[in-house]
């Protein structure tokens, strides 16, 4: 048995030049948890909001603009939640993979802005055809910008991780072919929109699970390779070494 002395562990890791590695992994685990929690919330919110009325008869915009002020407010909150969850997820994955691309992050942000604008702009053609047209344009731009942001990133992933190439291709086929088929068979309805957002969120959840797990495994191999006591080394690897005051503030 061994006791946990955070100050001693911190000193050991610093002396072994492992402290920054442990600190980085602690940060990555927190980002992964935040990332996946945010995406799961957006996933559930999308399904619940999209089924407030029949998704075979009404789009998400119809539900948010043609029924009540409560639905209108929920639509705006949904757009904001999905936009920020998707933006945070993609940008965090880009940073995790150390992927650099001239426009990738820009397109992510533009997709987020377009989706938020879609929620904010009224979409009642009878009352204001101009704003309805703007709403239609921003909704289309959301899908376009999201595609432009994901394509270079997944190409990079396929190059760097050949074993993921087929899985990524399947995911993209499910997302885009499924969305197009639903659009063809059901028209512009909530079914098409729910499929599009839910499948994209599930794809980002999958990438978050796989890529962060790989990062942890790769770093843990380096961290643990010279350990005499594996159990103790694992404790050092996963323990929170922030100062007590910071930990106490986070728990309040």
pLDDT band at residue 110 using 50, 70 and 90 as cut-offs: very high
Measured at the alpha carbon of residue 66, what is the angle toward residues 60 and 68, in degrees to the nearest 5? 100
Cα–Cα distance for residue pair 84/97, rounded to 1 Å:
20
Domain residue spans of the chain: 6-251
Q: Judge whether 236 and 2 are in contact, CB under 8 Å.
A: no
Residues 119-167: tens digit of each pLDDT? 888 877 677 788 778 888 898 899 899 989 998 898 888 888 888 888 8
CB 202 within 8 A of CB 46: no
State CA 98 to chain mean position distance: 16
Q: What mean pLDDT is predicted for residues 93-98?
A: 86
Q: Higher pLDDT residue, 7 or 197?
A: 197
Stated pTM of the model? 0.78
Model pLDDT for residues 158-209, shown as the tens digit of each residue:
888 888 888 888 988 888 888 888 888 877 788 888 898 999 999 999 998 8
- Angstrom distances, CA of residue 100 to CA of 46, 149, 243: 31, 12, 33
Pick the closest to residue 142 from 95, 78, 93 (CA basis): 78
For helices 104-120 and 69-96, give the axis angle rounded to 10 degrees: 170
pLDDT given at position 250: 47
Question: Are the beta carbons of 75 and 49 closer than 8 angstroms?
Answer: yes
- Residue-averaged pLDDT of the chain: 79
Measure CA of the first residue to CA of the last residue in the chain; give whole Å.
31
- HEC secondary structure over the chain: CCCCCHHHHHHHHHHCCCHHHHHHHHHHHHHHHHHHHHHHHHHHHHHHHHCCCCCCCCCHHHHHHCCCHHHHHHHHHHHHHHHHHHHHHHHHHHHHCCCCCCCHHHHHHHHHHHHHHHHHCCCCCCCCHHHHHHHHHHHHHHHHHHHHHHHHHHHHHHHHCHHHHHHHHHHHHHHHHHHHHHHHHHCCCHHHHHHHHHHHHHHHHHHHHHHHHHHHHHHHHHHHCCCCCHHHHHHHHHCCCCCHHHHHHHHC
For the segment 37-90, what is each residue's pLDDT rounded down to a tens digit?
A: 999 999 999 999 988 888 888 888 888 888 888 888 999 999 999 999 999 999
The pair of three-digit structure tokens given for residue 97, joined into one six-digit string: 């993979």
């Amino acid at each position: 048995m061994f006791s946990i002395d955070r100050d001693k562990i911190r000193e050991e890791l610093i002396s072994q030049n492992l402290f920054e590695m442990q600190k980085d992994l602690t940060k990555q685990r927190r980002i992964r948890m935040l990332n996946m929690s945010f995406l799961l919330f957006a996933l559930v919110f999308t399904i619940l909001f999209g089924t407030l009325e029949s998704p075979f008869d009404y789009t998400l915009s119809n539900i948010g603009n043609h029924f009540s002020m409560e639905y209108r407010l929920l639509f705006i909150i949904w757009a904001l939640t999905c936009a920020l969850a998707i933006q945070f997820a993609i940008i965090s994955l880009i940073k995790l993979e150390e992927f650099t691309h001239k426009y990738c992050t820009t397109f992510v942000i533009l997709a987020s802005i377009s989706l938020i604008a879609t929620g904010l702009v009224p979409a009642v053609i009878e009352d204001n055809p101009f704003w309805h047209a703007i709403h239609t344009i921003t909704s289309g731009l959301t899908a376009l910008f999201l595609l432009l942001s994901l394509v270079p990133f997944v190409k990079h992933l396929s190059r760097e991780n050949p074993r993921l190439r087929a899985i990524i291709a399947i995911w993209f086929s499910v997302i885009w072919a499924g969305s197009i088929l639903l659009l063809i068979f059901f028209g512009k309805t909530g079914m098409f929109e729910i499929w599009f957002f839910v499948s994209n969120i599930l794809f980002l959840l999958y990438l978050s699970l796989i890529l962060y797990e790989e990062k942890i495994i790769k770093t843990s191999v380096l961290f643990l390779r010279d350990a005499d006591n594996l159990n103790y080394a694992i404790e050092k690897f996963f323990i929170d070494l922030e100062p007590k005051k910071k930990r106490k503030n986070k728990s309040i």
